[in-house]
Chains A and B, each alone.
Chain A
Amino acid sequence: MPSCDAIVIGGGINGLAAAGRLALSGAKVTLLETAPELGGMATLAHLCMGLDPRLEKSLALADHGLVWAERNVSSTALSPDGNHIVLKGAFAETVEGSLSAEDRRAWTSLRDTLLRNAALLAPFKAMPPPRLARDHGTPLLDLLRNGLALRRMGRDNLREFLRLMLINVADVLDDELADDRLKGLIAFDTVLGHHAGPRSPNSLLGLYHRISSEVNGQQGAIALPRGGVAAVIAALAGAVRARGVTIQTGARVKAITAEDDRVQSVTLESGEIFTTSLVVSALHPATTLLSLVGAPVLDTGVVRNVRNIKSRGSTAKLTLTLQGKPDFHGADLRSRLVIAPSVRAVEEAFNAVKYGAFSEAPVMELLLPQAFSTEPDLGRHTLSALVQFAPHDLRMGWVKGKPAFLKAIMKQLEHFAPGIGKQVIAADLLTPHDIAQHFGAPGGQWHHAELSVEQMLFLRPGVGLAQYATPVRGLYLASAAMHPGGGVNGSAGWNAAGHALAKGGAA
């Protein structure tokens, strides 16, 4: 029976980040991943926003092959008539194209406000969330320091910060801007990956989450690693291996066994048993606690809280193989292409999922990785698309619904790139239901637990589970469902491992 200091379950970015941090402390770590490949849900992403600098530096990812193909990917708000605008620099520092002088001024001012407010929230992401209850190790000093930063911003800015805190993004955009393309793109970015429309309450928090992080020291930037997000995973895997982590792929965990409320062992489907006193699971908390530990071992209140975690995924992933380059009315393909013609279009696309339907006119983000490559054009191009919105549970059922949804997406694409349908050689669509099945993430939600205000900070992912620890001593949660949420950043995993170490690991 093999034994090790720590077992990490799940080889996605958070599992790898947790394994890395544990290994840095000198622990003998084994990482178990069900799939034959590492990466988990990060393989769905095609861009990188806010790779946690702590793990990038501590694990020296650059030494393990992480190279940025583009540190500042521009965004193009596509227009069906070719009248695109291109947003360049981190979080649209400049806008190219036909935008009114008024909107340019207004955007500069709004951008400053949003970045300033988001920056104030960034430090909260790097610490365990505070708890309201006493005696839970709330990091009071950090909290005080971050709170003081709020105080120091001055009365007017603080008032503005508080006014915008729980507002919806549509109201902010309608207040400040006139251009539908710009507003549509910001609205799209705000709700990308979330189960929310621009007019959903508190939707602006989604944007804050997105632009509070940084890549290469640039807040709000979008970066493309050379080789795509897979290269980040490969570098991370190389880095943790170099620090002694044993990685087993194709190793599906069947059970986490606890005795007397303390972790004892991890059993694989194959029957192999690892004895350990520290388990860090990057799987969805419901999978970890209800399936692997088992509801009967836990108190009913915990079971209730875990089952109440909202995990509605509403983003689909489409990969098209195209014959030749697509033409979006002349748009520069070395850019993130966004189809989100207006706030209203994004909101209406979201309306569908409320009623168990997919959007007939979906909004989406498109990326052609080859456009960023210096390799010769061999004629075939891959178009990677994140498409919103589609529900996990489609009323008509996904067997019938999937071809219909693909048709709706292609119709929308055709509108912006006439003739693209004829270029398609292969189409691979992953609905939220497919994503849930494929990655074992209930609901197929990107952040495992929806990142909405009632599931943030000390309420993330649910009551009583906020600080990575579980009722089973020695078992910690490192999933995207944990604070500060998902994305290709590894922050939740890094925080979880840090918290486990601070708590004495298995003790």
Chain B
Amino acid sequence: MKNAQLHFRQPLQTTPFHAHTSAANKLNAWAPWAGYTTALNFGDETMEYTALRNQAGLYDLSPMVKYEISGPDAVRYLSRLTLRDVAKLAPGHVHYTAWCDDEGKLIDDGTLFHLPDGRFRLCCQERHLPWLMDSAIGFDVRVRDESEAVAALSLQGPCAYAVLARAGFADAKSLKPFQLAEYRLGKSGKVMISRTGFTADLGYELWTSPDKALELWDVLMEKGALHGLRPIGTTALNMARIEAGFMIANMDFVSATTALRPDRTRSPFDMALDWMIDFNKGPFNGRAALKREREAASTQWAFVGLDIDGNVEAEHALVYDNKKHEVGHITAALWSPTTKRNIALAMLRRPYHAEKSGNLWVEIYALRELEYHKLMVKAAVVPRQFFNPARRRATPPGMM
């Protein structure tokens, strides 16, 4: 765009894969994500979900917000910024992490990549550059938004490695979950492959420069055809992530940076992310507040999985104790085709997540030919990982 002031004329950007994704998008089903046009689904969403769970799916991950962190103090900086001890994250490894504000309330969660050359990449749902820059005061680090500089694809499903191997990345066989390495792409290109994903299945994420994006797409789609590889949209991916029990900022909890109502923010204890907190690594954002929360056992909420009777999806439903007393709400829900269960992710007031979880009911408004039918359905608290196959962890990965 020549004149930066005219940016409003194109409110949504296109990703480096757009030439291919737009050609494949038979239904023109698009949705905005982080300022980009992204496919909701290319054709039949059920077929895309089925491919993801039984063959392999290819998802354009480019709009994911990505920050590059480098410099002598990068490790110390990231340990102060996030909940985990980054000194324990060796180059070539990835960890799932989260970060809080001063009050110990979650700002976002994301994945932190320690690249082979020592730099870090922090991937997340929302934009946080001002917070990351202000957190850098007093550290010798460089923080850069590299969202536009990196094109990324997520290749997920039981055949994911088979597709990789056939596409020339057989060496990725040695990657264990949460490991990464760099590989050659074609004659001059490079691609970084990490064994990460958002589906709780065998899967990889592939990172390259925007100018190599279409070449990477082509080789994967061509070599993956025999394995039933399909481009998938956000609808299918979201089904898989609910089955995986993964959370998304501003869908399952409100980020502390955007929450307006004081009771909307959530702590890592609320969101069952307290396992990440390393109180012994030195100062980090929210440490004092989180310590107080732990010592006072003042956590109010619990993020749980629900198994709900029947087969009517309970999206945004309220949860009751004894059908009367409101004790929480559902943040994501799905009739899970793979597990054949009516599942949901829910935010429950303590102790209705545990000691008092015996009499929980979900109030579902089922829309049937323009009329809502109010259903009160029994629900049980269950582990959030509804789908968790052993092949997800197997190294070397399966060659289905």
Tell me if B283 counts as interface (CB < 8 A to partner A): yes
B residues 72-91 near A (Cβ < 8 Å) are 76-77, 80-81
In the complex, what's the smallest C-beta–C-beta distance from B182 to chain A, in angstroms? Answer: 31
Q: With a CB–CB cut-off of 8 A, which chain B residues contact A307?
A: 134, 137
Q: With a CB–CB cut-off of 8 A, which chain B residues contact A297?
A: 283
Interface size on B, residues (CB 8 A): 18
Tell me if B288 counts as interface (CB < 8 A to partner A): yes
Q: With a CB–CB cut-off of 8 A, which chain B residues contact A296?
A: 76-77, 80, 138-139, 283
Tell me if A294 counts as interface (CB < 8 A to partner B): yes
With beta carbons under 8 angstroms apart, the residue of B76, B131, B288 that contacts A300 is B131
Assess the A298–B131 pair: CB atoms within 8 A. Answer: no
Assess the B101–A301 pair: CB atoms within 8 A. Answer: yes
Q: How far is the CA of A370 from the CA of B103 in the complex (A)?
A: 56
Q: With a CB–CB cut-off of 8 A, which chain B residues contact A294?
A: 138
Q: With a CB–CB cut-off of 8 A, which chain B residues contact A290?
A: 137-138
In the complex, what's the smallest C-beta–C-beta distance from A60 to chain B, in angstroms? Answer: 41
A residues 271-311 near B (Cβ < 8 Å) are 290, 294-304, 307
In the complex, what's the smallest C-beta–C-beta distance from B2 to chain A, in angstroms? Answer: 33
Q: How far is the CA of A295 from the CA of B140 in the complex (A)?
A: 12
Tell me if A65 counts as interface (CB < 8 A to partner B): no
In the complex, what's the smallest C-beta–C-beta distance from B363 to chain A, in angstroms? Answer: 33
Q: How far is the CA of A297 from the CA of B76 in the complex (A)?
A: 11
Assess the A471–B288 pair: CB atoms within 8 A. Answer: yes
Q: How far is the CA of A505 from the CA of B134 in the complex (A)?
A: 31
Q: With a CB–CB cut-off of 8 A, which chain A residues contact B138?
A: 290, 294-296, 303
Tell me if B114 counts as interface (CB < 8 A to partner A): no
With beta carbons under 8 angstroms apart, the residue of A261, A295, A303 that contacts B288 is A261
Q: With a CB–CB cut-off of 8 A, which chain B residues contact A302?
A: 102
Assess the A303–B134 pair: CB atoms within 8 A. Answer: yes
Q: How far is the CA of A242 from the CA of B77 in the complex (A)?
A: 47
Known: A296-B76, A296-B80, A296-B139. A304 touches B287 (CB 8 A): no
Tell me if B285 counts as interface (CB < 8 A to partner A): yes
Most buried by B among A261, A296, A464: A296
Assess the B285–A300 pair: CB atoms within 8 A. Answer: yes
B residues 137-152 near A (Cβ < 8 Å) are 137-139
B residues 234-267 near A (Cβ < 8 Å) are none
Q: Give the nearest-CB partner of B279 in chain A.
A: A260
Q: With a CB–CB cut-off of 8 A, which chain B residues contact A300?
A: 81, 101-102, 131, 134-135, 285
Q: Give the nearest-CB partner of B284 in chain A.
A: A299
Q: Give the nearest-CB partner of A302 in chain B.
A: B102
Tell me if B286 counts as interface (CB < 8 A to partner A): yes
Assess the B139–A304 pair: CB atoms within 8 A. Answer: no
Interface size on A, residues (CB 8 A): 16
Q: How far is the CA of A290 from the CA of B103 in the complex (A)?
A: 19
The contact string, 1 if C-beta is below 8 Å from chain A, for chain B 287-325, is 110000000000000000000000000000000000000
Q: How far is the CA of A149 from the CA of B103 in the complex (A)?
A: 36
Q: How far is the CA of A464 from the CA of B288 in the complex (A)?
A: 14
Q: How far is the CA of A90 from the CA of B138 in the complex (A)?
A: 48
In the complex, what's the smallest C-beta–C-beta distance from B283 to chain A, in angstroms? Answer: 5
Assess the B134–A304 pair: CB atoms within 8 A. Answer: yes
Q: How far is the CA of A302 from the CA of B288 in the complex (A)?
A: 12
Q: How far is the CA of A464 from the CA of B139 in the complex (A)?
A: 23
Assess the B102–A301 pair: CB atoms within 8 A. Answer: yes
With beta carbons under 8 angstroms apart, the residue of A261, A299, A464 that contacts B285 is A299
Q: With a CB–CB cut-off of 8 A, which chain A residues contact B134?
A: 300, 303-304, 307
The contact string, 1 if C-beta is below 8 Å from chain A, for chain B 319-354, is 000000000000000000000000000000000000
Assess the A298–B283 pair: CB atoms within 8 A. Answer: yes
Assess the B101–A303 pair: CB atoms within 8 A. Answer: no
With beta carbons under 8 angstroms apart, the residue of A261, A295, A464, A471 that contacts B137 is A295
Q: How far is the CA of A299 from the CA of B135 in the complex (A)?
A: 8
Q: Give the nearest-CB partner of A308 in chain B.
A: B134
Q: Give the nearest-CB partner of A294 in chain B.
A: B138
Q: With a CB–CB cut-off of 8 A, which chain A residues contact B101?
A: 299-301
Q: With a CB–CB cut-off of 8 A, which chain B residues contact A304?
A: 134
Q: Give the nearest-CB partner of B81 in chain A.
A: A300
Assess the B137–A303 pair: CB atoms within 8 A. Answer: yes
Q: With a CB–CB cut-off of 8 A, which chain B residues contact A471?
A: 288
Q: With a CB–CB cut-off of 8 A, which chain B residues contact A295?
A: 137-139
Q: With a CB–CB cut-off of 8 A, which chain A residues contact B288?
A: 261, 299, 471
Q: With a CB–CB cut-off of 8 A, which chain A residues contact B137?
A: 290, 295, 303, 307
Q: How far is the CA of A295 from the CA of B139 in the complex (A)?
A: 8
In the complex, what's the smallest C-beta–C-beta distance from B316 to chain A, in angstroms? Answer: 31
Q: How far is the CA of A300 from the CA of B287 in the complex (A)?
A: 11
Q: Give the nearest-CB partner of B104 in chain A.
A: A299
Q: Give the nearest-CB partner of B131 in chain A.
A: A300
In the complex, what's the smallest C-beta–C-beta distance from B262 to chain A, in angstroms? Answer: 10
A residues 36-88 near B (Cβ < 8 Å) are none
In the complex, what's the smallest C-beta–C-beta distance from A474 to chain B, in angstroms? Answer: 13
In the complex, what's the smallest C-beta–C-beta distance from B292 to chain A, in angstroms? Answer: 11
Q: With a CB–CB cut-off of 8 A, which chain B residues contact A303?
A: 134-135, 137-138
Q: How far is the CA of A242 from the CA of B196 in the complex (A)?
A: 69
In the complex, what's the smallest C-beta–C-beta distance from A330 to chain B, in angstroms? Answer: 56
Q: How far is the CA of A298 from the CA of B81 in the complex (A)?
A: 11
The contact string, 1 if C-beta is below 8 Å from chain A, for chain B 113-151, is 000000000000000000100110111000000000000
Q: How far is the CA of A294 from the CA of B102 in the complex (A)?
A: 16
Q: Give the nearest-CB partner of A471 in chain B.
A: B288
Q: With a CB–CB cut-off of 8 A, which chain A residues contact B139?
A: 295-296
Q: Give the nearest-CB partner of B80 in chain A.
A: A296
Q: With a CB–CB cut-off of 8 A, which chain B residues contact A261?
A: 283, 287-288
In the complex, what's the smallest C-beta–C-beta distance from B105 to chain A, in angstroms? Answer: 11
Q: With a CB–CB cut-off of 8 A, which chain A residues contact B80?
A: 296
Task: Name 5 A/B residue pairs within 8 A (Cβ), A-sorted.
Answer: A290-B138, A300-B101, A301-B101, A301-B285, A307-B134
A-side residues, CB < 8 A to B, are 261, 290, 294-304, 307, 464, 471
Given known contacts A290-B138, A300-B134, A301-B102, what 16 new A-B pairs fall within 8 Å (CB)?
A295-B138, A296-B77, A296-B138, A296-B139, A296-B283, A298-B283, A299-B102, A299-B287, A300-B101, A300-B285, A301-B101, A301-B103, A302-B102, A307-B137, A464-B102, A471-B288
Instruction: Please give me the 6 A-B residue pairs with the lowest Cβ-Cβ distance, nearest first.
Output: A295-B138, A301-B102, A299-B102, A300-B135, A295-B137, A296-B138
